[in-house]
Amino acid sequence: MRTAKDKYTYRVTWSEEDGEYVGLCAEFPGLSWLAGTFEAALKGIRKVVNDVIEDMTKRREAVPEPIALRRYSGKFIIRVPSEVHRQLALQAAETGVSINRLASAKLSH
Query: Which pLDDT does position 3 carry in this prediction?
Result: 62
Mean pLDDT, rounded, of the chain: 94
**Structurally, how many domains does the chain consist of?**
2
Give residue 30's Cα distance to chain centre: 13
Percent of the chain with pLDDT over 90: 93
Query: Which pLDDT does position 6 carry in this prediction?
Result: 81
H-helix or E-strand spanning residue 86: helix 82-95
CA 23/CA 15 separation, integer angstroms: 10
Identify the CATH number of the domain in which residue 53 sits: 3.30.160
Confidence check: pLDDT of 4 > 70: no
Helices 82-95/99-108 angle, 10° precision: 100
In this structure, are 14 and 59 located in the same domain? Answer: yes
In this structure, are 85 and 98 located in the same domain? Answer: yes
Q: What is the pTM of this model?
A: 0.73
Structural domain harbouring 94 = 72-108
pLDDT tens, position by position, 49-102: 999 999 999 999 999 999 999 999 999 999 999 999 999 999 999 999 999 999
